[in-house]
Structure 1
Amino acid sequence: MLHIKIHQMYQQNMKVAQIATALKVSRPTVYKYLKMTYEDALHEFDGKACSRKKKLDAYRDWIIAWLEEYPHLSSAQVYDWLLERYPDLSVGSSTVRTYVKEIREIYQIEKKRVVRHYEAIPEQPMGKQIQVDWGETRQRTKDGKMIKLYFIAFVLAHSRMKYVEWRERPFTTRDTIHCHENAFQFYGGRPSEIVYDQDHLIAINENAGDVLLTNEFQAYVNERKFRIHLCRRADPESKGMIENVVKYIKRNFADSRVYRHIEDWNDRSMRWLERTGNHNVHQTTKKRPAEVFSVEKQHLQPVLSLLSFESIRTESIARNVSKDNTIRYRSNRYTVPIGTYSSVKKKMVFLEVTEQERLLIRESPEGEVIADHRVSKESGKLIQSRDHLRDRSKGIEELKQQVLTYFEDRESASDYLGELSKRYPRYRRDQFNIIRDVATMYPNHLTMALEKCSQESLFSANDFRDVVHYLAILADDGCDTKPDTERPKKSGIQVATRPIQAYTDILKGVTAK
C-alpha cells in the first residue's frame, strides 16, 4: 500500500519532501519505492517477513495495539510499558525507538508532536537546591470511569533525582508538609534551598521579596531551617527543571495508565522512578540521575527522623469506609467495628501508622481509636479483628435463656441444650426454637420428656418434640394452652417421625404410673 500511495502522489506532481511529510516516512524511503516496481516491493516485503527476525517481533501485537489506541505514545513510553509487563526484556532504547518508528510507517500511525520551550538555567552545586511543584491528571479506572489525581513532585537541581507522591484529593498545607518529610527521608537529607511556585498552600503574597507564608508552612520552615526561593508570577522558566519533571510524570508515567487505587498508584509510581524516571540517562547532563545522586547525597544536610511538633509517622490519612465495614490501605483491607459504615452519608475515618507498624483508625484525626491492626506487608489480604465480627452467639444465648424458663430443673435442661449445641452447631437456633414451641404448647410434660430423652440419649429437638407429643396423647389432654391460631411459627424443618412403638419402648412402664 505504501508503494502504491507513493507512486500515486508522485504522478500528481508532488515533490519527494511533500510525499514524505504526508505519509510520515523519510525521503530515502520515498526515493527507494519510486525506483521499485510493485512486484519488487512485494517481493522485498515477503522476503523480509520470511527471513528477517527482530528482537521485538514477539511483542509486535502489544506495540501495535498500544500505538493504535494511544497514537501519541513516545517510544520511551512504549519501552517503559514493555519493561513493566516483561521485566526480563533485554533490549536497548534505540532498538525500541527504531522498531516503533517502523511500526508507525507501516501502519501509518501518526504521532502528535508537542513543541516545548524552556530556558536554560545555570548548573547548581551539589546539595544546594530542590525544586518543587504540583500537578494533576485525569486517569481512567479499571471500570472505565475517569478520576482526577493530584501529585507533588521534587527534583534535586544537580543530579536531577526525582520524587513524586500522589493523592486522590487536592493537597492541603499539612499534606504538603508530610510529603516534604517523605521526600527528605527518600533523599536521606535536605538541601539548603527549595524553589517553589507561588502556590496558595505555602505562600500568601510575594510582598516585593519579603515573602509572606501561611502560618502552618512558616512554622515548618522555621523548624527545618531551609531557605525559600519563590518564583515570580508567570515565570515558569525560572524553575524549568521541575516543569519538565511534572510534564515527564504526566506524559511518561501517568498517560494512558489504568488506575486501581491510590496505594497501588503510589507503589507503581515509585517503581517507575526506579526503573525509568531516575534510571534513564538525562538528556542535559548525559548521566543517570541515580548514579549522580549517590555522590550528591553526601552534600545534603541531615534531617532528624521526627519533627519536634509533629511526627511524619503520625500522619492522618483519610479513608472512606466500605459497606462491608472495611477500609483500604496499601493494597489490603482492614476491618472497623460493625456499624461504622453509614448508607445515608459517606463515612470517613482517619488512619495513623505508628513506629511499631501498627495501623490505628479513628473517626476523627484526634479522636478515640476504634480499630488497631498490625500493618501487613502482603497485598490483597483482609486483616480482620475478632472484636469487629458480629456477635452471633448473643442472640442464641438469649434464646437459650428464654427456653430454660419453661423448665423446672434448669440445670438438667441447660445440660441438654448444651448437648444440642455441640451436636448441631449450625442449627442451634432451629433446635432451640423447636423446644420453645413445644414448651409453650405442652408445659405439663416437659420434666418427664427431659428425663427420658436424657436417659435414652435422644439429643435432638425433633426427638424431644415427639416424646412430648406421645406423653400428651397418653394423658389424653391434647394441647395444654394456646390454640393453633396463637401458636408460634414452626421452623419449617422436615423431619422423620419415629413409629409410636419406639416411644412406647422408651417410656416402658410410664403408663402404669
Structure 2
Amino acid sequence: MVLDPQRWLELRRFRGLYESGAMSLREIAKETGLNRRTVTKYLVGEAPVAPPKRTAEGRQRRVVDEVAPLIDAMLRTEILLKASVIHERLAAEYGVAINYQRVKIYLQEARPRIAEALGISPGELAGLHRRFEVVPGAQAQVDWGDEGKILAHVGIPKVYSFHMTLSYSRDPFCCFTTSQDLASFFDCHRQAFVHFGGVPMTIVYDRTKTVVRRHVAPGEAVPLYPEAVAFAGHYDFDIDVLAAYRPTGKGRVERQVLIVRDHVLAGRAFSSIEEMNAAFSAWVPLRRAKVHGTHGEIIGQRAVRDHAALRPLPRTPYVVAQRHLRHVGKDCLVAFDANLYSVPARRVRPRQLVEIRATKSQISLHSTVPDAGGTTLLAIHPRAVGRGARVVDERHWDGLPKGDNRRVTTGDVLPLPRHERPLGAEAGPLQALLNRAAAANVEVGRRPLSVYDELTGTRPFTTNRTTKESS
C-alpha cells in the first residue's frame, strides 16, 4: 500500500514513540486507523526519507471519476439528491453504465464537500409508525404536495402536485395543478382513475377542506362536503377520513410525494404544467420496474393484480362544480376567485344576485330566476388562470354608454326635428333658451336705469311720480 503524503507525515510522528518503546505497532495501527503491515513497513522497514509523490500516471483511474463532474453538478442543483436517483439518471439520460455502489461511495465524499462549499448542512428526520397491509384493489391514499414557485419564471405563482397511491402495490399517480379548489381536486381524481383503469373500494384522506366541511371534536362524526359525497357515490367508493394529526395513516402517499419530488422534479427546470406532467409519465415505467423495499416484489407486477381488482369506471364522468352567489357590478362584471367575468347588460341589473358554477376549466353564470323560456344561463367563460384577470365578452356590453363618445359643442347645433324646434312664437322664450342658436334671437326688453333705482330705493321718487300715485 502506498500512503498519500498527508498520511505518511502523520505516521512519521509515531516513529519516536515506537523507537522509545512508548507505543507498540498494534497501538499505533489502532491510533492511525492503518493496517498493522503498513505501519510495520514504514516504521520498522526501510521507510523513505520524504513523503511519496503520487503522479497522475501512477494513479489508477476509477470509473466514477469520469462521471464525477456530472454527479457534482447534480448535487449543486439539489444537495439532497439520492444515490438511486443519480444512478438512475446517469443511465437514462447519459447512457452511463456504472455500479450503483460506486456512485453511493462517491457520494459519501462528494456530498459533504459540495454542501460545505454551498453553505448547506443537510439533515434527515426519521419517525416510527405501525405498518398495515391491504388486499388488491381495496384502498388508495390521496395527498397534496406544495411545489412552490417552480414555474414563477413563466408567470405561474404557485404549483401543487396531486398524488394518489394504490396501497397494495404502491403504484403511483401524480399530476400538477395551479389550484387546490374543489373542481381541480376531483378533476385530478378522474385523471387518476383513468390512469389506473378503475376505482378503488376506499380512498383515504386527511382533513382537507375539499372533503371535510368543518372540523369536529374527536369521536364525533365528520361532516363531509356535499360534492365530495356525490362524487364518491357516482364512482362507487367509500371516503375514509383520518383522525387529526395522523399523517402516518396514509404513509404510502406521503412517501410518494417525496419520491416524486426527488426523482421527477429535483434538479430540473420546467416551463409549463404539461411539461411537468410529461416528466412524471416518463418516470412511471422506471418506478414500476423497481423492487419495492417493503413487499419485496416488482411494483409493476404487483400493480397488475391491483388494477384487476379495481371497480370499473362509470360510463359518464361526474363533473364537480363549485356553486356561489355573487352580485353584479355596475359595469356588468361579476367577481369570483379574484377575477372578473362579464354578463349580458340587457339581462341583469346592478346588485342583482347571480349563481356561479365553477369547474376546473369553465365558469358559467346563471340567474336565480328562470326567464320566460325557462332558462337561467347568462354566460359561459373559460376559467382564468391566476388572479386579477378580466374575462369579457364584448357583446355583453352592447347598448351601454362609453366613456370615449362624449361631445362638446361651442357653435350652432344641428337643427332639431320640427316637433321639437323651439324657434317661433309658439316655442316661448323659456324653451328658446334651451337652444343656444335660438337664444341669440330672443329680444330682451330695455328699461331706463331710473326704474331700477326706484325699485332698490337708492334714489328718492320724483315729484311727478309721487303726485301721480297719490291721485
Q: TM-score w.r.t. structure 2 length?
A: 0.55
* Deviation, structure 1 residue 289: 1.4
Q: Which residue of 1 aligns with 2:93?
A: 85
Give me the whole-angstrom Cα distance separating, in 2, the residues matched to 1:29 and 1:348: 76
Give me the whole-angstrom Cα distance separating, in 1, the residues matched to 2:149 and 2:255: 20
**Structure 1 residues 138 and 310: CA distance shift in structure 2, 3 A:** closer
Q: Which residue of 2 aligns with 1:451?
A: none
Q: Which residue of 2 aligns with 1:269?
A: 280
Counterpart secondary structure, 1:202: coil
Q: Which residue of 1 aligns with 2:158?
A: 148
* Deviation, structure 1 residue 7: 6.3
* Deviation, structure 1 residue 79: 2.3
Q: Which amino acid aligns with 2:101?
A: S
Structure with the bigger RCO (C-alpha within 8 Å, sep 6+) is 2
**Structure 1 residues 69 and 164: CA distance shift in structure 2, 3 A:** closer
* Deviation, structure 1 residue 68: 3.8
Give me the whole-angstrom Cα distance separating, in 2, the residues matched to 1:278 and 1:166: 20
Q: Which residue of 1 aligns with 2:103?
A: 96
210-219 or 251-260, which deviates more? 251-260
Task: Mark the structure with the bigger radius of gyration.
Answer: 2
Give me the whole-angstrom Cα distance separating, in 1, the residues matched to 2:4 and 2:339: 58
Structure 1 counterpart of 2:172, from 154, 158, 162: 162
Within 5 Å, give how 1:412-427 maps onto structure 2.
Answer: none
Q: Does 1:31 align with 2:39?
A: no
Give me the whole-angstrom Cα distance separating, in 2, the residues matched to 1:268 and 1:100: 25
Q: Which residue of 2 aligns with 1:187?
A: 196
* Deviation, structure 1 residue 131: 0.7
Q: Which residue of 1 aligns with 2:242?
A: 231
Structure 1 counterpart of 2:73, from 65, 69, 75: 65
* Deviation, structure 1 residue 196: 0.5
Structure 1 counterpart of 2:301, from 291, 309, 312: 291
Q: Which residue of 2 aligns with 1:318?
A: none
Counterpart secondary structure, 2:213: strand
Counterpart secondary structure, 1:306: coil
Q: Which amino acid aligns with 1:116?
A: A
Counterpart secondary structure, 1:204: coil
Once the two structures are superposed, what CA deviation does each residue of 1:299-354 show, in whole Å capped at 9, x if it has no partner?
111112522x539xx9xxxxxxxxxxxxxxxxxxxxxxxxxxxxxx99999xxxxx
Counterpart secondary structure, 1:31: coil
Unaligned runs of 5+ in 2: 15-29, 322-337, 343-360, 366-378, 383-471
Q: Does 1:177 align with 2:180?
A: no
Q: Which residue of 1 aligns with 2:262?
A: 251
116-125 or 179-188, which deviates more? 116-125
Counterpart secondary structure, 1:213: coil
Counterpart secondary structure, 1:304: coil
**Structure 1 residues 179 and 106: CA distance shift in structure 2, 3 A:** closer
Q: Which residue of 2 aligns with 1:215?
A: 226
Does the 8 A contact of 2:5 with 2:51 survive in 1? no
Give me the whole-angstrom Cα distance separating, in 1, the residues matched to 2:88 and 2:155: 24
Give me the whole-angstrom Cα distance separating, in 1, the residues matched to 2:8 and 2:232: 64
Give me the whole-angstrom Cα distance separating, in 2, the residues matched to 1:9 and 1:105: 26
Does the 8 A contact of 1:134 with 1:152 survive in 2? yes
Q: Which residue of 1 aligns with 2:205?
A: 196
* Deviation, structure 1 residue 178: 1.0
Q: How many residues align?
A: 307
Does the 8 A contact of 1:121 with 1:238 survive in 2? no
* Deviation, structure 1 residue 142: 9.3
Counterpart secondary structure, 2:54: helix
Q: Which amino acid aligns with 2:319?
A: E
**Structure 1 residues 149 and 10: CA distance shift in structure 2, 3 A:** farther
Give me the whole-angstrom Cα distance separating, in 1, the residues matched to 2:32 and 2:112: 10
Give me the whole-angstrom Cα distance separating, in 2, the residues matched to 1:9 and 1:194: 64
Give me the whole-angstrom Cα distance separating, in 2, the residues matched to 1:6 and 1:164: 54
* Deviation, structure 1 residue 246: 1.6
Within 5 Å, give how 1:420-459 maps onto structure 2.
Answer: none
Q: Which amino acid aligns with 2:273?
A: I
Give me the whole-angstrom Cα distance separating, in 1, the residues matched to 2:12 and 2:239: 61
Q: Does 1:300 align with 2:305?
A: no
Once the two structures are superposed, what CA deviation does each residue of 1:255-303 show, in whole Å capped at 9, x if it has no partner?
332121111011112212322x333322212222122101221111111
Does the 8 A contact of 2:143 with 2:205 survive in 1? yes
* Deviation, structure 1 residue 46: 5.2
**Structure 1 residues 46 and 134: CA distance shift in structure 2, 3 A:** same
Give me the whole-angstrom Cα distance separating, in 2, the residues matched to 1:135 and 1:152: 6
Give me the whole-angstrom Cα distance separating, in 1, the residues matched to 2:12 and 2:249: 48
Give me the whole-angstrom Cα distance separating, in 1, the residues matched to 2:52 and 2:156: 45
Q: Which amino acid aligns with 1:127?
A: G
Give me the whole-angstrom Cα distance separating, in 2, the residues matched to 1:306 and 1:263: 25
**Structure 1 residues 146 and 179: CA distance shift in structure 2, 3 A:** closer
Give me the whole-angstrom Cα distance separating, in 1, the residues matched to 2:130 and 2:5: 44
Does the 8 A contact of 1:139 with 1:256 survive in 2? no
* Deviation, structure 1 residue 139: 4.7
* Deviation, structure 1 residue 84: 4.8
* Deviation, structure 1 residue 363: 8.1
Percent of residue pairs bearing the same amino acid type: 19
Give me the whole-angstrom Cα distance separating, in 2, the residues matched to 1:32 and 1:96: 26
Provide the alpha-carbon RMSD of the alignment. Answer: 4.3
Within 5 Å, give how 1:336-375 maps onto structure 2.
Answer: 364=363, 367=379
Does the 8 A contact of 1:139 with 1:254 survive in 2? no
Q: Which amino acid aligns with 2:58?
A: G
Unaligned runs of 5+ in 1: 13-26, 315-344, 350-361, 371-513
* Deviation, structure 1 residue 176: 1.3
Q: Which amino acid aligns with 2:188?
A: C
Does the 8 A contact of 2:79 with 2:111 survive in 1? no
Q: Which amino acid aligns with 1:156?
A: L
